[in-house]
Amino acid sequence: MFSLLIGRLFWVQFVGGTQYLERAERQWFRHVTIQPQRGQIYDRNGDLLAGSASAETIVVIPSAIEEPAKVVEKLSNVLDLEDEAIYNRLNSDASEVYLKRRVDDKTAQKVKELEIKGIRTIPESKRFYPHERLASHVLGFMGTDKGLEGIEAHYQDELAGVPGTSLYTSDGSGRELPGGVANYKAPVEGLDLTLTIDHYIQHIVESKMQITMEEFEPEGISVIAVDPNTGEILALANKPDFEPESFADYPSSTWRNAAITNSFEPGSTFKIATMAVGLEENVFKPTDTYICKGYKEVLGTRIRNWDRRANGEQTYTQAVVRSSNTAFVDIGLDLGKDTLFKYIHGLGFGQRTGIDLPGETTGILFNTQTMTDLDLAVTSFGQGNAVTPIQQIMGVAAVANGGQLMQPYLAKEFRNSEGEVVKANKPTPVRTVFSQETSDISREILQEVVKGANLTIDGYSVAGKSGTAQKISPEGGYIDGSIIASYVGFAPVEDPQIALYVMVDEPATGRWGSQVAGPLFRDIMEDVLHYMDVPHSYQENDED
């Protein structure tokens, strides 16, 4: 008997003592992670687009739970959690476990009123978006602790900050004892981010898009507004959209940022690129004439004008205004595949623009090593290659601004919790594509296009071009009756301050880009020019 007592004493002192010490540490010492405040997101004028509000999180201290079954019964209805999920957390080996994150005030109060030993609340922050759906595809949305889409995801590291820690002594219920903090490391707050987005321009864009959604009932719409001189994105939107705070209530298809991910044949908006290349390479002059028969034979295939008309003798300026396919086939064939595609690549097609959003795609271009003259011919007027909206607007911006391809960007600057700028993005020229002369002539021609389409804006000179493209079938070929209507342009012609791209996907009514996308382009452009207080190009109703 004596030897058994000695053995038991030895086990308690030297073997079991470690276990008792560890159990005591779990019961009396708490190691808590302190989440940092996530950085706020503002528009270019300081208007809050995404912020963080205080919210309480319910945590459990497993070692302090005395009757798990009763605790489960009390909490299951209040927290709307399965009994098994609660029970597993109550029986965790960890010193402290999240039971439910960022609950509303009413739920937190109900839990407090239960006064359950080992259950407590801790303060955290919860993301909110004061403008609801506005700029949802720019901002993206949050998971539990991490950005999952949009700016929230792309700049996760900058916005998130660095968690802190606290080690303190507590009573049996897990409450901190006075003076019980043994070790504390403060969290580093996330950086505040100012975007290039102007929330008022974004509002104009989205409100006009909604009108078009109701009028033409399309599958979707994408719009991008950019400062052509800097690459700053002033607005970017897609319909349908979603509310970032409740993104899970929407079909996942609505989360897709079509403005940077969807690629499709551009149609006649691509003629802007072919025109500019032809001017740069001296293939034609605006006043040069040619005879339009209404069709062009290439490798045994007859390519017709979109309206099937033979326009007779016309200048190349008239050909652009009339969107004559055959004129652009002539330009493309005269340039040759190597020259035309050198500029196509130079304008950023077939590659990511580098916009600071996740998910951008490259589009698909013909391989110049294997393409035929027929491929070259259809490329010249916007068929055969797939491009994205962001590629198209940046390519047109290069034509507008004097020939510089700019990198598009959304993050203007980051500030720390003291308000100091720790990082600022500046306009980034990618390369020079065209001469100033080519830019000047292109702008003048595209102004004539807008006049011919009756999409002018009183007091302002506007340049632009419509596009109508058939939708490609997954099985090959085109989907009968399904189109993508688009319009792209800029203003004022003499000093472009804004470039705008509009894409309407599969409208239920309306057949042409000028009918469907053109009015949306004009309505947005007019309101934005007035909002930006851009000086008039001429007195209203006095244009030559």
Which residues does the annotation mark as catalytic?
Answer: 268
d(CA 389, CA 363): 10
Q: How far is CA 285 from the centre of its chain?
A: 39
Please, are residues 283 and 334 in contact by the beta-carbon 8 Å criterion?
A: yes
Please, are residues 270 and 381 in contact by the beta-carbon 8 Å criterion?
A: yes
d(CA 429, CA 411): 16
Q: Which helix or strand (DSSP H or E) is residue 207 part of?
A: helix 199-216
Please, are residues 191 and 183 in contact by the beta-carbon 8 Å criterion?
A: no
Which residue in 202, 155, 161 sits closest to 356, CA to CA? Answer: 155
Phi, psi torsion values for 288, nearest 5 degrees: -60, 145
d(CA 263, CA 261): 6
Number of H helices, E strands in the chain: 18, 23
- For residue 164, the SS3 value is strand
Does the bond joining 240 to the residue before it have cis omega, within 30 degrees of 0?
yes
End-to-end alpha-carbon separation of the chain, Å? 117
d(CA 322, CA 449): 8
- For residue 99, the SS3 value is strand
Which residue in 294, 335, 287 sits closest to 314, CA to CA? Answer: 287
Please, are residues 493 and 443 in contact by the beta-carbon 8 Å criterion?
A: yes
d(CA 544, CA 541): 9
Please, are residues 480 and 384 in contact by the beta-carbon 8 Å criterion?
A: no
d(CA 181, CA 32): 11
8, two tokens: 């038991």
Phi, psi torsion values for 430, nearest 5 degrees: -85, -50
Task: Find tokens 């908006």 and name the residue.
Answer: 269
Does the bond joining 492 to the residue before it have cis omega, within 30 degrees of 0?
yes
Which residue in 363, 146, 398 sits closest to 261, CA to CA? Answer: 363
Task: Find tokens 């302090």 and name the residue.
Answer: 64
Phi, psi torsion values for 301, nearest 5 degrees: -105, 130
In DSSP notation, 352-373 reads: ----SSTT----B---TTT--H
Q: How far is CA 284 from the centre of its chain?
A: 39
